[in-house]
């Protein structure tokens, strides 16, 4: 039986392979393993239509175990993380599939500090999910209560407003809220810097989250930044834990470039603990060269922001993140937060007096191509000799300066292929070839 928990919680197509019965079982399992009398659970969600269904199922499960559940409504994932850690909560559960389309949803469990769970705790929860009906429930007079507690969101907003006030700027920016859960606070926080803020894609209807907008599709933002003469654009994803930037000319500045800009700024100010930047194995080789040339060090982890966070703790690092736009800045937050990342970029631009294009030009990237291929048998690629031989041939053609990385997605039924090297045309050719082969062999 495949593992329920991927790199970012439990994901699936809502009401198809991710059913409310699973959310109910998770509510019971979380209450049994992590909570107890007087230690409630807090639940948030993004703007997907299926969010109410899953939140209700979690409530039913946890309250059946005698545990209260506080519902904060639609909030960014980093907001739920902050609320969980700041309050007297035994755990938090976020109902969100992040950057995935609206048909999907997900269940992310956080510990009492608002952090993602260790894998051994996830394994325990998984076993409890499968046997949740056998767990002893509460008597009728000891059932938990569902508490509507939307005011808790203001705890998060207040903290981020304080960060914004410490980042004064007069820049003109455009924010793409991806029709997601960041729209309730992003503009208010960014305006607190003194910036002129224009907002796009902040009209969620339950089905348009991440639809041709947001961090996974920044093209519309890029066009609007140019059309409106803005200094910079920011694109959140559906739950606002990642951010992709756009410079004034409409060029996309991805997570690797943003990390490079922040790391170089902090190295220059002696504000990068241990000179360390923690990145995933997907991060561009160009980023490593630039950071090391500036006197810093790169530490690599597996893909997934929880591994980035663990790597930061182990190595005493204060900055880490991924190409996808997850950025963790430990002095401000223990999770990726696209709004905080935007504040950091505004700070660098304002202090330096330089455009984002100029700052990003300090971090030249090697040509890199990534492909996500739908795959019913995504975990079988390593055992396929045809795929292994094709990877070996690709690596030979790229030479020592290039690399190939193939891995199953931790959030979708897909195989992911990354090819990097100095020859752009060859990188595209090999990425397309490997993607086509994976599609044929794994479906």
Q: What is the pLDDT of residues 150-200, one digit of tens each?
A: 999 999 999 999 999 999 999 999 999 999 999 999 999 999 999 999 999
Q: Mark whether 160 and 133 lie in a shared domain.
A: no
**One domain for residues 285 and 166:** yes
Looking at residue 141, which CATH number applies to its domain?
3.40.120.10
Residue ending a domain, choose from 292, 326, 360:
360
Pairwise CA distance, residues 20 & 50, whole Å: 9
Whether residues 80 and 139 fall in one domain:
yes
**Options 98, 181, 335, 409, the catalytic residue:** 98
**Residue 286 counted as domain residue:** yes
- Say if 3 falls within a structural domain: no
Q: Which of 129, 148, 167 is the last residue of a domain?
A: 148
Look at residue 4 and tell me if it is in a domain: no
CB 176 within 8 A of CB 342: no
Instruction: List average pLDDT for each run of 10 residues in the chain, which is 443 residues long.
Output: 82 95 98 91 98 98 97 98 95 97 97 94 96 95 95 96 97 98 97 98 98 97 98 98 98 97 98 97 92 97 90 96 95 94 98 98 93 87 89 93 88 87 94 92 87
| N-to-C CA span, the chain | 18
- Whether 98 sits among the annotated catalytic residues: the reply is yes
In a domain? residue 289:
yes
Enter the tokens of residue 265.
């700024």
Taking the CA atoms of residue 255, residue 335, residue 417 and residue 259 in that order, the dihedral angle to the nearest 10 degrees is 20
CA–CA gap between residue 320 and residue 308 (Å, rounded): 6
Q: Give, in order, the Cα–Cα distances in Å from 357 to each of 44, 107, 279.
A: 36, 37, 22
- Residue 355 falls inside a structural domain: yes
Residue 326 belongs to what domain range? 155-360
Which ranges in 172-280 belong to alpha helices (H)?
Answer: 186-191, 219-228, 255-268
């Amino acid at each position: 039986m495949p593992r329920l928990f991927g790199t970012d919680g439990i994901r699936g197509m809502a009401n198809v392979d991710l059913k409310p019965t699973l959310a109910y079982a998770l509510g019971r399992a979380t209450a049994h393993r992590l909570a107890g009398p007087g230690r409630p659970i807090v639940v948030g969600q993004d703007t997907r239509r299926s969010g109410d269904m899953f939140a209700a199922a979690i409530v039913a499960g946890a309250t059946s175990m005698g545990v209260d559940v506080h519902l904060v409504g639609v909030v960014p994932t980093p907001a739920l993380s902050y609320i969980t850690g700041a309050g007297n909560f035994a755990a938090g559960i976020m109902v969100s599939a992040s950057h995935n389309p609206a048909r999907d949803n997900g269940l992310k469990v956080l510990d009492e500090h608002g952090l993602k769970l260790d894998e051994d705790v996830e394994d325990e929860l998984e076993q409890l999910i499968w046997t949740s009906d056998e767990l002893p429930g509460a008597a009728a007079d000891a059932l938990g209560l569902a508490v509507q507690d939307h005011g808790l969101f203001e705890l998060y907003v207040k903290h981020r407003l304080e960060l914004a006030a410490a980042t004064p700027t007069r820049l003109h920016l455009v924010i793409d809220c991806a029709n997601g859960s960041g729209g309730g606070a992003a503009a208010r926080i960014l305006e607190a810097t003194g910036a002129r803020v224009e907002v796009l894609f902040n009209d969620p209807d339950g089905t348009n989250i991440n639809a041709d907008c947001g961090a996974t599709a920044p093209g519309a933002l890029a066009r609007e930044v140019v059309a409106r003469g803005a200094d910079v654009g920011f694109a959140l994803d559906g739950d606002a834990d990642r951010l992709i930037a756009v410079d004034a000319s409409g060029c996309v500045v991805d997570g690797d470039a943003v990390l490079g800009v922040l790391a170089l700024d902090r190295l220059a100010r002696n504000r990068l603990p241990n000179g360390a930047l923690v990145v995933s194995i997907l991060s561009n080789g160009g980023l490593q060269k630039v950071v090391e040339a500036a006197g810093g060090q790169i530490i690599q982890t597996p893909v997934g922001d929880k591994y980035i966070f663990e790597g930061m703790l182990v190595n005493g690092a204060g900055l880490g993140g991924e190409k996808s736009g997850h950025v963790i800045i430990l002095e401000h937050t223990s999770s990726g937060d696209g709004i905080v990342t935007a504040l950091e970029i505004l700070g660098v631009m304002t202090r330096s007096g330089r455009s984002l294009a100029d700052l990003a030009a300090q971090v030249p990237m090697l040509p890199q191509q990534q492909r996500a291929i739908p795959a019913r048998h995504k975990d079988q690629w390593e055992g396929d000799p045809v795929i292994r031989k094709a990877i070996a041939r690709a690596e030979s053609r790229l030479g020592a300066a290039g690399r190939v990385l193939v891995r199953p997605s931790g959030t979708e039924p897909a195989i992911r292929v990354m090819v990097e090297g100095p020859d752009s045309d060859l990188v595209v050719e090999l990425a397309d070839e490997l993607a086509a082969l994976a599609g044929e062999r794994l479906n």
